[in-house]
Amino acid sequence: MADTLGDLLDAAARGVFPPADGRTTIVPQLSPRDAGVLAFTAHSVVFTDEDPDWVRRTLAGTDRDRLAATMNARFLTALMDRTGRTSDTIDVLLNRCRAARGTVGRAGGDRRSRPSARGPRTLAA
């Protein structure tokens, strides 16, 4: 696992993502301006200079499962309050690594051949 947000972003740009283990990684901010949350598949990254123990306690206090806790409005509001920040929207950065190009699910591709999802959150939706 990468030790900094820069390492995580560099790895993701190469198609190497955090393990889909349901955990949350907490790393320092790259700059005083930027703090927030990145949600990968079954793994979140909170980047903040706040106390990691505060982040863990606050996440544990949400009434959501571990996969959704970092994107939960209560956690995001607490993070904004703690860091003196505001947000009007949740930004999304979508990236497909070079190795995935041309695979099932691409624009215009045959989505019917994609395997069906059997996870509990997908089935509940």
Coil, helix or strand at residue 2? coil
Give the model's confidence band at 34: pLDDT under 50 very low, under 70 low, under 90 confident, else very high: confident
In the numeric block, which tokens belong to residue 37? 């949350």
- Residue 70's pLDDT is 94
Exposed, middle or buried, 2 (CB in 10 Å: 0-12/13-18/19+)?
middle
Can you give the pTM of this predicted structure? 0.71
In this structure, is residue 104 part of a structural domain? no
Under the banding of pLDDT at 50, 70 and 90, the label for residue 86 is confident
pLDDT mean over 33-49: 93
Section 50-74 average pLDDT: 91
Return the top range by mean pLDDT from 64-68, 87-91, 96-100: 64-68
Q: Which domain holds residue 34?
A: 5-97
Report the number of distinct structural domains present in the chain.
1
Residue 14 inside a domain? The answer is yes
